[in-house]
Amino acid sequence: MDSHELQRLYLDLTTPHVADAVMRLGIPVRQAPAGLNALWSETHIVGRVLPAQHTGSVDVFLEAINNSCPGDVLVVDNSGRTDEACVGDLVTLEASQAGLAGIAIWGLHRDSRELRAIHLPIFSMGSLPAGPQRLDPQSKTAITHAQFGDFTVTADDFVLGDDDGLLAMPLERAADIAEVAVAIRETERRQASLMRSGTSLREQARFADFLSARESEGITFRQHLRRIGGEIEE
Protein backbone atom coordinates (compact mmCIF):
# COMPACT_ATOMS: atom_id res chain seq x y z
CA MET A 1 0.00 0.00 0.00
CA ASP A 2 1.45 3.38 -0.98
CA SER A 3 1.39 6.60 1.02
CA HIS A 4 -1.45 8.15 -0.97
CA GLU A 5 -3.72 5.20 -0.13
CA LEU A 6 -2.72 5.37 3.55
CA GLN A 7 -3.52 9.07 3.62
CA ARG A 8 -6.92 8.43 2.03
CA LEU A 9 -7.83 5.62 4.43
CA TYR A 10 -6.69 7.34 7.63
CA LEU A 11 -7.41 11.01 6.91
CA ASP A 12 -10.38 11.19 9.29
CA LEU A 13 -9.42 8.45 11.74
CA THR A 14 -8.11 9.06 15.26
CA THR A 15 -5.67 6.91 17.20
CA PRO A 16 -8.36 5.90 19.76
CA HIS A 17 -10.66 4.58 17.01
CA VAL A 18 -7.75 2.79 15.37
CA ALA A 19 -6.46 1.37 18.66
CA ASP A 20 -9.93 -0.10 19.30
CA ALA A 21 -9.92 -1.58 15.80
CA VAL A 22 -6.49 -3.13 16.33
CA MET A 23 -7.67 -4.77 19.54
CA ARG A 24 -10.86 -6.04 17.90
CA LEU A 25 -8.83 -7.64 15.10
CA GLY A 26 -6.51 -9.34 17.59
CA ILE A 27 -3.45 -7.43 16.39
CA PRO A 28 -0.87 -6.58 19.09
CA VAL A 29 -1.23 -2.98 20.23
CA ARG A 30 2.05 -1.13 19.69
CA GLN A 31 1.79 2.37 21.07
CA ALA A 32 4.55 4.85 21.76
CA PRO A 33 5.39 5.76 25.38
CA ALA A 34 2.92 8.16 26.97
CA GLY A 35 5.48 10.99 27.07
CA LEU A 36 5.66 11.16 23.28
CA ASN A 37 3.76 14.19 22.00
CA ALA A 38 3.34 16.24 18.85
CA LEU A 39 5.13 19.58 18.87
CA TRP A 40 1.84 21.38 18.21
CA SER A 41 -1.81 20.50 18.71
CA GLU A 42 -4.10 18.99 16.07
CA THR A 43 -1.20 17.21 14.38
CA HIS A 44 -2.20 14.20 12.30
CA ILE A 45 0.43 11.97 10.75
CA VAL A 46 0.27 8.69 8.85
CA GLY A 47 2.88 6.97 6.72
CA ARG A 48 5.12 3.97 6.17
CA VAL A 49 7.94 3.60 8.67
CA LEU A 50 11.40 4.80 7.64
CA PRO A 51 13.61 3.47 10.47
CA ALA A 52 16.81 5.09 11.71
CA GLN A 53 18.89 4.18 14.76
CA HIS A 54 20.78 7.21 16.05
CA THR A 55 24.28 6.61 17.46
CA GLY A 56 25.53 10.20 17.70
CA SER A 57 25.68 11.39 14.09
CA VAL A 58 23.06 12.65 11.65
CA ASP A 59 24.50 10.58 8.79
CA VAL A 60 22.07 7.77 9.59
CA PHE A 61 19.15 10.15 9.02
CA LEU A 62 20.56 11.32 5.69
CA GLU A 63 21.13 7.71 4.61
CA ALA A 64 17.57 6.78 5.56
CA ILE A 65 16.14 9.81 3.74
CA ASN A 66 18.27 8.92 0.72
CA ASN A 67 16.34 5.61 0.54
CA SER A 68 12.91 7.08 1.34
CA CYS A 69 9.70 7.45 -0.61
CA PRO A 70 7.46 10.53 -0.37
CA GLY A 71 4.97 10.09 2.46
CA ASP A 72 7.26 7.96 4.66
CA VAL A 73 7.63 8.81 8.36
CA LEU A 74 11.18 8.93 9.74
CA VAL A 75 11.06 6.88 12.95
CA VAL A 76 14.10 7.72 15.06
CA ASP A 77 15.39 5.28 17.66
CA ASN A 78 17.51 7.14 20.20
CA SER A 79 16.71 4.67 23.00
CA GLY A 80 14.53 7.24 24.74
CA ARG A 81 17.63 9.12 25.89
CA THR A 82 17.06 12.31 27.87
CA ASP A 83 20.68 13.56 27.90
CA GLU A 84 20.85 14.74 24.28
CA ALA A 85 18.73 16.03 21.43
CA CYS A 86 19.12 14.07 18.21
CA VAL A 87 16.93 15.86 15.63
CA GLY A 88 17.09 19.56 14.81
CA ASP A 89 16.13 22.01 12.12
CA LEU A 90 18.46 20.86 9.32
CA VAL A 91 17.43 17.20 9.47
CA THR A 92 13.79 18.26 9.69
CA LEU A 93 14.12 20.57 6.71
CA GLU A 94 15.86 17.81 4.74
CA ALA A 95 13.02 15.40 5.58
CA SER A 96 10.42 17.98 4.60
CA GLN A 97 12.05 18.74 1.27
CA ALA A 98 12.31 15.01 0.53
CA GLY A 99 8.52 14.77 0.88
CA LEU A 100 8.39 12.83 4.15
CA ALA A 101 5.11 12.98 6.07
CA GLY A 102 6.80 13.61 9.41
CA ILE A 103 9.24 12.46 12.08
CA ALA A 104 8.65 10.40 15.24
CA ILE A 105 11.51 10.46 17.76
CA TRP A 106 12.04 8.05 20.65
CA GLY A 107 14.22 10.69 22.18
CA LEU A 108 14.49 14.47 22.17
CA HIS A 109 14.58 17.29 19.62
CA ARG A 110 16.01 20.81 19.57
CA ASP A 111 15.63 24.01 17.50
CA SER A 112 11.97 24.15 18.51
CA ARG A 113 11.33 27.61 17.04
CA GLU A 114 12.75 26.57 13.66
CA LEU A 115 10.81 23.30 13.72
CA ARG A 116 7.57 25.19 14.25
CA ALA A 117 8.40 27.36 11.23
CA ILE A 118 9.15 24.31 9.06
CA HIS A 119 5.89 22.81 10.38
CA LEU A 120 6.63 19.22 9.40
CA PRO A 121 4.63 17.00 11.80
CA ILE A 122 6.99 15.88 14.58
CA PHE A 123 6.45 13.65 17.61
CA SER A 124 9.10 13.76 20.34
CA MET A 125 9.66 12.97 24.01
CA GLY A 126 10.66 16.60 24.60
CA SER A 127 13.38 19.16 23.87
CA LEU A 128 16.94 19.85 25.02
CA PRO A 129 19.48 22.44 23.79
CA ALA A 130 22.56 20.23 23.36
CA GLY A 131 23.10 17.61 20.70
CA PRO A 132 25.08 14.38 21.22
CA GLN A 133 28.61 14.38 22.60
CA ARG A 134 29.25 10.77 21.57
CA LEU A 135 29.78 8.69 18.47
CA ASP A 136 28.93 5.02 18.97
CA PRO A 137 29.34 2.17 16.47
CA GLN A 138 26.50 1.90 13.99
CA SER A 139 24.47 -1.31 13.86
CA LYS A 140 24.05 -3.26 10.62
CA THR A 141 20.28 -2.76 11.10
CA ALA A 142 20.59 1.02 11.56
CA ILE A 143 18.25 1.86 8.66
CA THR A 144 16.12 -1.29 8.64
CA HIS A 145 14.90 -1.56 12.25
CA ALA A 146 14.02 0.96 14.94
CA GLN A 147 13.20 0.25 18.56
CA PHE A 148 10.46 2.56 19.82
CA GLY A 149 9.61 2.07 23.47
CA ASP A 150 8.64 -1.56 23.93
CA PHE A 151 8.36 -2.48 20.26
CA THR A 152 10.39 -2.65 17.04
CA VAL A 153 9.30 -1.27 13.67
CA THR A 154 10.47 -1.80 10.10
CA ALA A 155 9.41 -0.70 6.63
CA ASP A 156 6.71 -3.40 6.88
CA ASP A 157 4.92 -1.14 9.38
CA PHE A 158 3.14 2.20 9.27
CA VAL A 159 2.48 4.75 12.00
CA LEU A 160 -0.50 6.91 12.87
CA GLY A 161 -0.17 9.82 15.26
CA ASP A 162 -2.37 12.60 16.63
CA ASP A 163 -3.02 14.49 19.88
CA ASP A 164 -3.54 11.20 21.76
CA GLY A 165 -0.19 9.66 20.79
CA LEU A 166 1.28 7.37 18.17
CA LEU A 167 0.52 3.81 17.04
CA ALA A 168 2.54 1.40 14.88
CA MET A 169 0.75 -1.26 12.83
CA PRO A 170 1.52 -3.84 10.13
CA LEU A 171 1.25 -2.29 6.68
CA GLU A 172 -0.35 -5.44 5.27
CA ARG A 173 -3.31 -4.97 7.65
CA ALA A 174 -3.80 -1.25 6.99
CA ALA A 175 -7.01 -1.65 4.97
CA ASP A 176 -8.56 -4.11 7.47
CA ILE A 177 -7.75 -1.85 10.40
CA ALA A 178 -9.16 1.23 8.69
CA GLU A 179 -12.41 -0.54 7.79
CA VAL A 180 -13.05 -1.60 11.38
CA ALA A 181 -11.98 1.79 12.74
CA VAL A 182 -14.46 3.56 10.45
CA ALA A 183 -17.28 1.31 11.71
CA ILE A 184 -16.33 2.05 15.33
CA ARG A 185 -16.13 5.78 14.64
CA GLU A 186 -19.54 5.89 12.96
CA THR A 187 -21.19 3.94 15.78
CA GLU A 188 -19.70 6.28 18.40
CA ARG A 189 -20.77 9.35 16.43
CA ARG A 190 -24.31 8.00 16.21
CA GLN A 191 -24.34 7.31 19.95
CA ALA A 192 -23.02 10.80 20.74
CA SER A 193 -25.70 12.34 18.51
CA LEU A 194 -28.43 10.40 20.34
CA MET A 195 -27.02 11.52 23.70
CA ARG A 196 -27.19 15.16 22.63
CA SER A 197 -30.82 14.53 21.65
CA GLY A 198 -31.63 13.24 25.12
CA THR A 199 -31.07 9.47 24.90
CA SER A 200 -28.56 8.58 27.60
CA LEU A 201 -25.70 6.18 27.02
CA ARG A 202 -27.26 3.83 29.60
CA GLU A 203 -30.46 3.72 27.56
CA GLN A 204 -28.62 3.12 24.31
CA ALA A 205 -26.51 0.39 25.89
CA ARG A 206 -29.58 -1.21 27.46
CA PHE A 207 -27.73 -1.12 30.73
CA ALA A 208 -30.57 -2.62 32.76
CA ASP A 209 -30.58 -5.62 30.39
CA PHE A 210 -26.83 -5.93 30.83
CA LEU A 211 -27.10 -5.98 34.61
CA SER A 212 -29.66 -8.78 34.39
CA ALA A 213 -27.55 -10.74 31.89
CA ARG A 214 -24.46 -10.28 34.00
CA GLU A 215 -26.31 -11.72 36.96
CA SER A 216 -27.84 -14.66 35.06
CA GLU A 217 -25.17 -15.42 32.42
CA GLY A 218 -21.99 -13.85 33.79
CA ILE A 219 -21.35 -11.90 30.57
CA THR A 220 -19.08 -8.86 30.45
CA PHE A 221 -20.15 -5.41 29.34
CA ARG A 222 -18.04 -5.80 26.20
CA GLN A 223 -19.84 -9.01 25.31
CA HIS A 224 -23.15 -7.25 25.87
CA LEU A 225 -22.13 -4.38 23.60
CA ARG A 226 -21.19 -6.83 20.85
CA ARG A 227 -24.67 -8.34 21.12
CA ILE A 228 -26.44 -5.04 20.63
CA GLY A 229 -23.95 -3.35 18.26
CA GLY A 230 -22.86 -0.65 20.70
CA GLU A 231 -19.48 1.01 21.28
CA ILE A 232 -17.65 2.68 24.13
CA GLU A 233 -14.81 0.30 24.92
CA GLU A 234 -13.09 -2.55 23.13
Q: Quick one: pLDDT at residue 229?
A: 77
Pick from 6, 15, 26: nearest CA to 175: 6
Please state, in angstroms and rounded to a whole number, the distance separating the CA atoms of residues 65 and 93.
Answer: 11
Please state, in angstroms and rounded to a whole number, the distance separating the CA atoms of residues 180 and 115.
Answer: 35
Task: Please write the tens of the pLDDT for every residue from 197-224.
Answer: 999 999 988 999 999 999 999 999 988 9
Pick from 23, 10, 49, 44: nearest CA to 151: 49
Q: Quick one: pLDDT at residue 114?
A: 98
Percent of the chain with pLDDT over 90: 91
Residue type, position 104, single letter: A
Residue type, position 78, single letter: N
Task: Please write the tens of the pLDDT for every residue from 136-167.
Answer: 999 999 999 999 999 999 999 999 999 999 99
Per mean pLDDT, which of 118-127, 181-190, 212-221 is the most reliable? Answer: 118-127
First to last CA, the chain: 27
